Amino acid sequence: MTRKLLSIFLPLIFLLPISAASQEDRAPNVIIILTDDQGYGDVGFNGCTDIPTPNIDRIARRGVRFTNGYVSYAVCGPSRAGLITGRYQDRFGFGRNPILAPQDPNMGLPLTEETLATALDRAGYHSMVIGKWHLGAHESLHPLKRGFDEFYGFLSGGHRYFPEEWTLRDLTEIQAQFDGYRTKLMRNYDRVEESAYLTDALSREAVEFVGRNPDQPFFLYLAYNAPHGPLQATEKYLSRFAHIQNEKRRTYAAMVSAVDDGVGRLLDRLEMLGLEDDTIVFFLSDNGGPENVNGSDNGPLRGKKGDLLEGGIRVPFAVQWTGHIPSGVVYEKPVISLDIFATAVSQANAPLREDHPIDGVDLVPFLQPGNDAFPHDQLYWRKFDGKSNALVDRSGYKYLVEGKDTKPALYDLHQDIGEKDNLARKQKKKRKSLKKQYEAWSAELIDPIFMGLSQRKAYYQQMGLVRPGE
């Protein structure tokens, strides 16, 4: 072909409609299914026997199960801040669980940070968050101001499950922190009347969102409240667990089962629309289970929600992307919830801000057959108020830094998943090496920028607020 002809046809090539071949390379949809306070041992793919989770297990069976899947904090708010930004939350001062404070623009995710929805918006995604927000209740921190196009759920850190208990029309009516659990749900900025059990309502909205957006790349952040307290379930789900004698465990099981039903309906909708190969689906919990509070079970792990022991930070974690990552694989190298952001933006080819480097990595290359590289050399945790900190390195060693809540400890998680044999005295050289690595990381962090839930009475006094119900 002559140079003259090339000059005519090349511009036309770039104006042609996307071909069928290039459609196969379309940016993938991204779905994050996040449960709240679910124990490591409370899914079938981690060995649960008394609570069937066949639909959640579908994700692991058709994709990858992470045996060493972590979150970046051991309680709800900071964990979610890390997940939605792809950055260790202590880099931007989100080191505490936020107070429900709709009058305070500083009580939540700082405006200096961007969410995964904002990043994906640059790649043409349509995004929705469903369920629990917990990243700020001020109008400037609302999900629709943080990159999302749609919102259905609640702004507080928890909620009651039966709609007849949602008696407050707005956050201005709350008299105490946990009155937020009784507010009517929101659709975008408006309060709505809802008649369904909370988990079922959130599942319905997720299925409908996917059904409305089959022809464009979408991001769905489905943040279930279950099985976070209060323990409430309908007879439909309770009747499945009459064999469980412990009432707390029975109700917890019913709540997990309701989530599993919803996950099944969502996966079925993807399959019906032919979107399975075009959609990355992540499943995880926001932190470990508070076993004595909600009847959860962290399986072989020591510790619970709030701890930097494995029971507080290692969670059920799986991902599927049919045709792009292997199916039925058990992946044992440490990964973290921060990797979800990195994976999504990388696969979407969404540009990132140079001034806000993320801490996660794209997991897709690491999951390919034959790739033996480690996604991370170390993973880190800081619990500012407890003065307790932790590090897990690629070799499977975990170091707990001495603090208010912890003594120096070193565990070989490959041999001691229950953290029973403290090797700190036996392996001083290893302990000192990990301590030095932790100190280098922690030097990059900042102090919390707001008072936390446990300090709410002092916060109310400082802000001149009256909370007679506290």
Name 107's Cβ contacts closer than 8 Å, sequence gap at least 6. 98, 99, 101, 136, 137, 138, 141, 450
Dihedral angle at the C-alpha atoms of 193, 199, 201, 203, nearest 10 degrees?
A: 160
Q: Is 195 buried (19+), middle (13-18) or exposed (0-12) by CB count in 10 A?
A: exposed
Q: Are 326 and 18 in contact (CB under 8 A)?
A: no
Q: Going along 259-404, which residue ranges are E strands?
A: 279-285, 317-320, 329-331, 335-336, 378-383, 388-393, 397-401
Catalytic residue (choose from 126, 134, 159, 228): 134
Q: Report the C-alpha gap between 312 and 309 in whole angstroms.
A: 6
Annotated active-site residue 48? The verdict is no
Q: Are 160 and 166 in contact (CB under 8 A)?
A: yes
Annotated active-site residue 76? The verdict is yes
Q: Going along 322-403, which residue ranges are E strands?
A: 329-331, 335-336, 378-383, 388-393, 397-401
Q: Report the C-alpha gap between 157 and 180 in whole angstroms.
A: 8
Catalytic residue (choose from 76, 126, 159, 376): 76
Catalytic positions, written as ranges: 76, 134
